Structure 1
Amino acid sequence: MAVPDSGYPYGLKLMINDYPYAIVGLEIWAAIETWVTEYYSFYYPSDETVKNDTEIQSWWSEKRTMVAGDEHISHLTQAYTIIIWIASAFHVAVNFRQYLYIGYLPNRPTVSHRFMPEPGTKEYDKLENNPDLAFLKTITAQFQTLLGVSLIEVLSMHATDEIYLGQRDTAEWTIDDEPLATFERFGKKLVEIDSRIMETNNDIKLKNRVGSMKVPYTLLYPNTSDYSREGGLTGKGIPNSISI
C-alpha cells in the first residue's frame, strides 16, 4: 500500500491518497518514534552506554533476531517504537471499532450452518431467487448471537480509568526535567493529530473519511486531551497498552 519515496512525508508514497489508517497511522508512528528517541537519548547518549547496560543487553540478547553486534541506540529505539505501536495504536485499529460494525450480527456472522448449495439444486434456486432469506437461514442462532455480540461489546469498550497515549496517571513518574519536557511535547503532538483528524473528517472531498453512512473516521483518534474518564463505546482513543 506504500512505496519508499523520499519526496513524501515519512519517506513513503501511499498508493491510495485518501487512506485514513495509513495517513494517521504514519503520523502517530512518527510521534511515538520521536518520543522514544528523545527519551532514550537522554539516558543513553551514545552506543557505548547501551552496550554497558547489563539489563538492556540481557533483554536484547533474549529478544533479538539480528546478527551479533547490533547494539546501537537506533536499533533499541526502533524496537521500543514497534512495541509501543503494536500495544497501543495497532491494537486500537483492530479492536475498538468492532461493535460499530459487528454489533449488527448479519454484517459479520460468527458461524454459517450450511454449505454453499450446488447449481441445479432446489437450495440453489432458493438462493438465486431470494438471497437475503437464504442468507438469514445460515447465520448464527439467537443464543449464540447474544453471546457473540456481548463479547464484541465488551472488547470494544474503553475502561473508565483508561490512560490514553500521551497521558500519565501521575506527574511524578520521573524527576528528570528533559524526559518530562519530551513527554509533554509528545502529548501536544498527539493533540495536534486529534485536531487534524476532525478537520480532515469535515473535508467533503475525502470520501473515505466519513463514507456513505456518515460515520466519521475516529479509529486512530488518540483522544489525548480527554481526561473525563468517560469510558464506554466511544469509538475513539488510543490506550497506552492492551490489557489482554
Structure 2
Amino acid sequence: MPCGIKLVIEDYPYAADGLLIWSAIKDWLESYVEHFYSDPNSVTSDVELQSWWKEIRCKGHYYKRNEPWWPTLDNKQDLSGILTQCCCKLWTISLGRSVFLSSLPTQLQATKVMAVEDTHSPDEEYLGQVNPEYSRWINDHEILKLFNKFSARLEEIQEIRISA
C-alpha cells in the first residue's frame, strides 16, 4: 500500500480502500501544513495551535491527559500526523451509518431508517468537495491547487474501487 502498511487479510476491500483514502488525506495535510508552516519553529511558536492541542489533551480527554501515548506537537511532521489522525477518525465515524443500518433486524425497519437517515442537507459537503458557495472564501491559489490535487486523488481511488 502507498502508506507503507501491509494488510494481514489481503482480500479485504474496505481496509484496502480505507488505506488509500488515509494516504490521500495524509499527503494533502502534509502539503497543507508545509504551506502554512514553512519556518522550522513555526509549529512550536504558534500559540493558538499549541493551546488547541493542549485543550484536546487536557480538557477534551481529561481522564487520559497524562497518558504517555499522546503525540507531541513540536514540528510539522507531528502536526501533519495529528491532523491526519483527526481527519481519518472523522471519516471513519461518518462510515458508521452503514454499520448501523446493517444491524437492523428487518428490511422494513431498515427502509424506514434510510428514509430518515439518507436525507442530505443541501449544503452537505463530502470528502474532497467544497460547496461552491463557500469556495469564494478561499483566495489562496496554492491552497486551492493542493485541494484540487487531493480531490483528484480521491476520484482516482473511487475509480479503483469501481473497477475492482
Using structure 1 for the length normalisation, give the TM-score.
0.54
State which structure, 1 or 2, has the greater radius of gyration over its C-alpha atoms. Answer: 1
Q: Distance in 2 between matches of 1:22 and 1:47?
A: 34
| AA in 1 matched with 2:143 | P
- The correspondence of residues 19-168 of structure 1 with structure 2, limited to 5 A, is 19-64=12-57, 70-88=73-91, 90-96=92-98, 98-99=100-101, 101-102=102-103, 105-106=105-106, 150-151=112-113, 153-155=115-117, 157-161=118-122, 162-168=124-130
Cα deviation, residue 51, structure 1 = 1.4
CA distance in 2, matches of 1:67, 1:13: 25
Q: Secondary structure at the match of 2:6?
A: strand
Runs (4 or more) in structure 1 with deviation over 3 Å come to 64-70, 96-99, 148-153
SS in 2 for 1:96: helix
Compared with structure 1, are the counterparts of its residues 57 and 102 closer, same or farther at alpha carbon in structure 2 (3 Å cutoff)? closer
Question: Which amino acid is the alignment partner of residue 54 of structure 2?
Answer: S
Q: Which has the higher helix share?
A: 2
Q: Percent identity?
A: 30
Aligned counterparts of 1:194 and 1:68: Cα–Cα separation in 2: 32
Indicate the RMSD between aligned Cα atoms, in angstroms.
Answer: 2.6
Q: Which amino acid aligns with 1:193?
A: I
Change (3 A) 1:9 1:38: closer
Report what 1:199 is aligned to. Answer: 163
Kindly tell me: are residues 87 and 43 of structure 1, through their superposed partners in 2, closer, same or farther at Cα, counting changes over 3 Å? same
The alignment covers a number of residue pairs equal to 151
| Unpaired runs of at least 5, structure 2 | 58-64
Structure 1: tracts of 5 or more residues without a match: 1-7, 108-144, 201-244
Classify 1:173/1:34 alpha carbon distance in 2 versus 1 (closer, same or farther; 3 Å).
farther
| Counterpart-to-counterpart distance in 2, 1:158 and 1:166 | 20
Aligned equivalent of 2:61: none
